[in-house]
Chain A
Amino acid sequence: MENENPKVDIPKSVVVILVVLAVVVSVLGTWTVMNQVSTVPVQASGAQGNPTQTARVALTVKNPVTVQTTGRIAFTYESEVS
């Protein structure tokens, strides 16, 4: 059945060349993508930081031994004017 119209149909050898070319292109494309991925300056695995971090807050309250405050006493002496 496949040889009923050989002048119109594309030769199978051409098809095979095209198919092989498709395979080669596909392989090269995949290799290129993988190669590019490996050059990304981020480690692909284990790149996450540790999600749990610890910090420290310190406060020292120094209770004063003594506190003081001051007051005022005043008066004005004004003798009787004669």
Chain B
Amino acid sequence: MEDISNRTLATLLIAAIVVSLAGTLTSLNRLSRLGISGRGTTETGSTNVTVLNALSITLTENSVDFGVGRVNDTAVCANRGFANMVSGDNTYNDVTECWIESSGGSPATGFIVENDGNINASVSIRGPTNAHFFESYSGSNPYGLWWSANSSDDGCVGWRNDSTYIQFDQNDTLCTNIVWDNTLNDDTLAVMVNITVPKDLPDGDYENTSITFYAVQAS
């Protein structure tokens, strides 16, 4: 076999190098195109929620407790036959001065309704009948339970029922527009409670825990 020339040998070597480099580059190119196809992506997002209307009321003073006592049965009170008390916004008034409180206790104050929502509210009240509250009192002396809106609270900017005392068993409007907030941050309204206790009422506890305040959005 005749030996090939060095030129032929060099040509074959160059061809080998070219083929090898080309194969390597092709392989690398194919591998690089795999990219991140196996990697999960992590995305973040944000959500803004705006609640436009929230109707809510609360009673910052939710208990009117006149304590333990009796009707004074002497002097002018003996002929009257009843005691009448009124509790309001941090006030208490023994109107007839005929109620004898037999145990200490602080004088009762009225309910205080606060509009803690973010829209104005119209609020009404409903409670027990007089007969139900006084447990079917059968005597002849006057008795009763009434309410009225405080006439001076700034929280009520609508019409308020403050001209007369109203029985609780009538679902009646307290205020047509209690503001949810204003520059003075005054969004409350006091409810005055008027009670007349007959002197011959049987001993016992008289209580009602269902004095209900209803609120709807003010128009």
Binds A, one of B89-97, B156-164, B197-205: B197-205
In the complex formed, the residue of A with least CB distance to B99 is A75
Interface pair A61/B43, CB less than 8 Å apart: no
* B139, chain A: closest CB distance, angstroms: 12
Q: B63-80: which have CB < 8 Å to A?
A: 63-70, 73
B39-98, CB < 8 A from A: 41, 43, 45, 47, 49, 51-59, 62-70, 73
| List of B residues within 8 angstroms of A37 by Cβ | 27, 30-31
**Complex formed: what's the CA distance from A7 to B141 in Å?**
148
How long is the Cα–Cα vector from A13 to B51 in the complex, in angstroms?
A: 90
Interchain nearest-CB distance for B12 vs A (Å): 5
- Does B35 sit within 8 A of A, measured CB to CB? yes
* Pair B37/A72 contact, Cβ less than 8 Å: no
Residues in A with CB closer than 8 Å to B73 are 80
> By the criterion CB–CB under 8 Å, are A76 and B63 in contact?
no
The size of the chain A interface, using a CB distance under 8 A, is: 50
Whether the pair B12, A20 counts as a contact (CB closer than 8 A) is: yes
Say whether B131 faces chain A, with CB atoms less than 8 Å apart.
no
Taking a contact as CB atoms under 8 Å apart, the answer to whether B204 and A42 are in contact is no
A72 touches B34 (CB 8 A): no
CB pair B70–A78 under 8 Å, yes or no, is: yes
A-B contact pairs, 15 of them (CB 8 A): A30-B19, A33-B23, A37-B30, A44-B33, A57-B47, A63-B53, A67-B55, A69-B213, A70-B59, A70-B62, A72-B64, A73-B64, A74-B208, A75-B67, A76-B69
